[in-house]
A = this chain, B = another copy of it.
Amino acid sequence: MNITCKKIELTSAISIVMKAVDSKPQTPILSGIYLKSEEGTLELHATNYEIGLVVRIDADIEAGGTLVVPGRYFQEVVRRLPGETVSLAHDLEDMSISITSESASFKLRSMPANDYPTVKKAPGNIEFTIKDNTLRSLIKKTVFACGTDPARPVFTGCSLAVDGTKLTMAATNTHRLAIKEVVFDEELGKIKLIIPSRILGEVLHTMSSEIPTDIEVTCSHNAISFSFENLFMTSRLIAGQFPDVHNVVPSSFTSEVLLSTQGFSSAVDRVSLISRSNNYNIIRFEFVGDSLHISSNSPDVGRAEETIPISKEGPDLSISFNAQYIMDVLKNIDSENCRLSLGKNAYGAIAVREEKDNSFIYVVTPVRTQN
C-alpha cells in the first residue's frame, strides 16, 4: 500500500472505528485497525465481535493493499501530524507502515492483514431505509430506560419490533418503560429483535451530520446493520424474549396534568439533591388543584420543597417516585409542556408524554412509601 489522503478525513474515520477497538481486546489483532485501499478509496475496519465498524474515505492510491495498524498509536500519531495531507506506505519487508506528513515521519509496526476478521454485510430478513433524525429520535427516546443488570441481558437492550408498516422501539428496566413508534408508508415485514444499548449509543454519536441522510437498516435474527453514506456499522443482537410492552401501559388513567417541561425538570433536579442521599432516591409529588408540590426528606441532610403551577383535570393525588426515573424522561421530552397521566391511587403507574405527540409514551411505577 502507498497512498495519500486528507488528515482531517483520516482523523475523523479513525475516531469512529476506534469505538469498536476495546482497550483490552480479546486477541492482539483486535487492537488494530484493518486498512484496505483500492480504487480511490481507503477503507478502515474495526471490530470487537460485538460491534463492527467500517468507514470509507477518499485517497490517492499509488499502490493498493491491505494491512493492520496498531489502533491506538495510529490514532495518536495521525491526530498530531503537522500537515494537511498524510502519506501511508506499507513496508512488507520489515512489517511496518510509514506515516509521513511534512517534516514528521513515523514508522509503526504493522500486523498481518490475513489474520483480521474484516467486517462484512450479512444478508438480512428485513431491509428498510429510515431518515437519520427519525432513527435518532427512536433511539434517544428509549435507550435511556434500559436496565444495566448483566444478569438480565434482555433488559440491557432496546427491543425493535417491526410489524407491517409500524416500527416500535422500547426499553425497560422493569420499573420504567419507554416506547416510541414510527409508521412507514410501505410494508416492512415482521421481525422482533433486541439491540444492545451500547451499540445504539454509538449509532447516536455517529449520526452527527447536519444534513438529513438516509440510513439503510438490515435486520436478521442474529445481527443488525446500519449503512450511512461512508459508514457501515453492524452489531450482534441480544438473545431472549422481550416482554410485550403494550400490556404494561395502563389501559386508563384518572387525572391528566399539563405542565412546563423545563420548570418541572429544574424543580425535580433541585429537590432530588436531597433525595439522592436516601437509599431509594425518593421524591414526593402532591398534585393539588393547580399546583404540584415536590418535596424530599433525608433525616441526615435536611429537606427540600418546591411548588410549581400545573393545569389538572381530575382528582388530587400524592405519589412518590425514584427521582432519577423522572429526571431521565424529562431530559428526552422535546415539547415545551409535558403531559402526565395519573392513576386513581398512589400505587398505580403514571405515564409521561409529549404535549401533542402520541408516538412516545413513558410509564413509570411509583415507590410505595409509609405516608
Contact = CB atoms under 8 A, between A and B. Distances in A.
A64 interface: no
Contacts of A103: 267, 306-308
A140 interface: no
B302 A106 contact: yes
A310 interface: no
A289 interface: no
Contacts of A70: 301
A97 to B, nearest CB: 8
Given A80-B269, A266-B82, A106 B307 contact: no
Contacts of A231: none
A53 to B, nearest CB: 23
A305 interface: yes
B77 A273 contact: yes
Number of copies: 2
Contact of A77 (B108, B267, B270): B270
A239 interface: no
Interface residues of A, number: 31
Contacts of A302: 73, 96, 106-109
A77 B296 CA distance: 13
A270 B104 contact: yes
A76 B298 CA distance: 15
28 contacts: A70-B301, A73-B273, A73-B274, A73-B277, A77-B273, A80-B269, A80-B273, A82-B266, A82-B270, A96-B302, A103-B267, A103-B306, A103-B307, A103-B308, A104-B270, A104-B304, A104-B305, A104-B306, A105-B304, A105-B306, A106-B270, A106-B274, A106-B303, A106-B304, A106-B305, A107-B304, A108-B301, A109-B300
List 3 tightest A-B contacts by C-beta distance, closest first.
A108-B302, A107-B303, A107-B302
